[in-house]
């Protein structure tokens, strides 16, 4: 009996020690991250008065931790514009310039990143971890001789207001990142450019396809590519509003959209528990936000939203306003969608394909068998490079609207609120 007691005490001690070690490592990493971010704060702090034109580079510095084979990285802080007020503001970003000599003007590809969280340390240009799912195709683009410019979006890693899933602001920041890249020494950027985005960035890319031609007529957008894009918000919200995902996406929408839509009231759709967690949850980077949401949803059985936001007239109108509209036939669109996506469900992209093809959009959809949400941008990358190369070369597109998707398009159920 005594021996059993000793064994149990020993096992308990080991368990406690394991918790202390894991907890200690977690808090050490958080402290280390805070220290690293504090050193970057001065770079991302804008001048008291922001002057110059949109796309002007306020400051830049080499970012060797972001270098990839064939391209050197530069961290930038550039001038952009608040889409709601027209007041100049700043955004951070990263630009990769090929190391091989330019043969004429270089093409530019703007990368629009996926959801990462709204805290300063989440900004891709402030953490080299962001390269994990982009490194391979950035190398391919560098080998083609293209510049890659990657905005953080304004308000992320730079002074508020925050913006998230807001099409006009996303487009403004993407367009001005292209201008900023062209302003760097040795860039030799031409006027032709393309855009590629994943998830939230897919939403950005589609909105850029819609708005950029009028916003930047001096630049020639040859096409927009999107991986697992947030393209059909109605389909996504109806299927995910009471799931774990809502704890990750919901807070970022709730803290940012009221600046654009003053009539929105969070308390109309968010649970009391969700309201209490919104500010801190929105600031968490993706991994922490996901773990927190998982604990709330699956362990404590708490939901972020108390009702489907589409049941509220003001929220439904805002969601409709931020859903990308089908593009004109003159703008080529490429979409890569994983069949095992657990965030942007495949049936929502199938619904988007059906709707956009019906009105004549120049749409090519590549279905990625067995691919989940996280890996969609990486997996689609090589096909995107080939597709953009054809667009830069002026080759005719080959839309595949006649091919049926491997999954049925989303259809609302009797319990779903009507589509606004």
The CATH number of whichever domain residue 155 belongs to comes to: 3.40.50.1820
Q: Strand 71-81 to strand 147-151: parallel, antiparallel, or no bridges (unpaired)?
A: unpaired
Q: How confident is the model at residue 2 (pLDDT cuts 50, 70, 90)?
A: low
130 and 278 both lie in a single domain:
no
DSSP letter string over 355-401?
Answer: HHHHTT--EEEEEETT--STTHHHHHHHHHHHHHHHHHTTPPP---T
pLDDT band at 35 (very low <50, low <70, confident <90, very high): low
Q: Is residue 83 part of a domain?
A: yes
Q: Do 78 and 22 reside in the same domain of the chain? A: no
Q: Both 33 and 157 in a single domain?
A: no
Under the banding of pLDDT at 50, 70 and 90, the label for residue 16 is very low
pLDDT given at position 21: 45
Q: What is the pLDDT of residues 268-318, one digit of tens each?
A: 999 999 999 999 999 999 999 999 999 999 999 999 999 999 999 999 999
Domain extent, residue 277, equals 242-319
Q: What are phi and psi of 350, to 5 degrees?
A: -65, -40
Does one domain contain both 21 and 111?
no
CB 98 within 8 A of CB 146: yes
Q: Does residue 93 sit in the same domain as residue 1? A: no
Distances (CA, A) of 93 to 253, 291, 318, 330: 22, 27, 28, 29
- Domain boundary residue, one of 303, 319, 335: 319
Find where tokens 């560098």 sit: 142
Backbone angles phi, psi at 270, to 5 degrees: -95, 140
344 and 311: one domain?
no
Classify residue 279: in a domain, yes or no: yes
- Within a domain: 110: yes
Q: Which helix (H) or strand (E) holds 89?
A: strand 88-98
How does the average pLDDT of the chain come out, rounded?
Answer: 93
* pTM (2 d.p.): 0.92
Residue 404 falls inside a structural domain: no
Closest CA to 318 of 390, 420, 244: 420
In a domain, 419, yes or no: no
User: What DSSP element (H or E) covers 192?
Assistant: strand 189-198
Do residues 7 and 98 both lie within one domain?
A: no
Q: Does residue 261 belong to any structural domain of this protein?
A: yes
Domain co-membership, 68 together with 8: no
Are 162 and 201 part of one and the same domain? Answer: yes
Q: Both 193 and 309 in a single domain?
A: no
**Cβ–Cβ under 8 Å, residues 337 and 368:** yes
Whether residue 37 is found in the same domain as residue 156: no
Q: Is residue 14 part of a domain?
A: yes
What pLDDT does 7 receive?
54
Domain count, the chain: 3
- The answer to whether position 364 is within a domain reads yes
Contact (CB, 8 A) for 344 and 229: yes
Residue 45 burial (C-beta neighbours within 10 Å; 0-12, 13-18, 19+): middle
| 205 shares a domain with 147 | yes
**DSSP label of 164:** -
Distance CA(332)–CA(202), nearest Å, equals 14
Reported as a single tens digit per residue, the pLDDT across 100-136 is: 999 899 999 999 999 999 999 999 999 998 788 899 9
Q: Which of 35 and 1 is assigned the larger pLDDT?
A: 35
């Amino acid at each position: 009996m005594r021996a059993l007691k000793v064994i149990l005490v020993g096992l308990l001690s080991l368990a406690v020690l394991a918790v202390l070690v894991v907890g200690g490592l977690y808090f050490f990493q958080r402290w280390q991250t805070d220290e690293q971010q504090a050193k970057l704060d001065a770079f991302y702090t804008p001048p008291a008065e922001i002057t110059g034109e949109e796309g002007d580079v306020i400051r830049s510095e080499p970012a060797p931790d972001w270098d990839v084979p064939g391209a050197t990285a530069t961290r930038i802080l550039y001038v952009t514009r608040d889409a709601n007020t027209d007041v100049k503001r700043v955004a951070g970003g990263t630009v990769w310039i090929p190391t091989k000599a330019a043969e004429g003007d270089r093409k530019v590809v703007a990368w629009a990143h996926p959801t990462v969280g709204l805290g300063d340390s989440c900004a891709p240009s402030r953490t080299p971890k962001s390269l994990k799912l982009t490194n391979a195709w950035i190398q391919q683009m560098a080998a083609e001789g293209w510049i890659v410019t990657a905005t953080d979006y304004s308000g992320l890693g730079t002074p508020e207001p925050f913006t998230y899933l807001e099409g006009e602001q996303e487009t403004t920041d993407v367009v001005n990142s292209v201008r900023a890249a062209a302003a760097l020494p040795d860039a030799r950027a031409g006027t032709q450019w393309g855009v590629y985005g994943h998830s939230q960035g897919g939403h950005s890319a589609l909105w850029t396809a819609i708005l950029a031609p009028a916003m930047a007529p001096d630049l020639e957008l040859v096409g927009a590519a999107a991986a697992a894009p947030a393209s059909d918000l109605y389909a996504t919200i109806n299927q995910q509003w009471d799931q774990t995902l809502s704890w990750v996406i919901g807070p970022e929408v709730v803290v940012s959209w009221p600046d654009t839509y003053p009539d929105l009231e969070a308390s109309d759709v968010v649970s009391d528990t969700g309201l209490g967690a919104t500010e801190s949850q929105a600031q968490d980077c993706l991994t922490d936000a996901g773990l927190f949401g998982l604990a709330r949803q699956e362990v404590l059985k708490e939901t972020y939203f108390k009702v489907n936001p589409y049941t509220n007239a003001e929220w439904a109108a805002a969601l409709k306003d931020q859903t990308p509209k089908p593009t004109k036939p003159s703008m080529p669109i490429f979409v890569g969608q994983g069949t095992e996506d657990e965030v942007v469900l495949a049936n929502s992209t199938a619904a988007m394909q059906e709707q956009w093809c019906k009105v004549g959009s120049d749409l090519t959809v590549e279905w990625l068998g067995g691919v989940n949400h996280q890996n969609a941008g990486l997996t689609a990358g090589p096909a995107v490079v080939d597709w953009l190369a054809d667009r830069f070369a002026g080759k005719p597109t080959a839309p595949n609207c006649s091919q049926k998707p491997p999954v049925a398009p989303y259809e609302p159920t009797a319990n779903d609120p009507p589509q606004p």
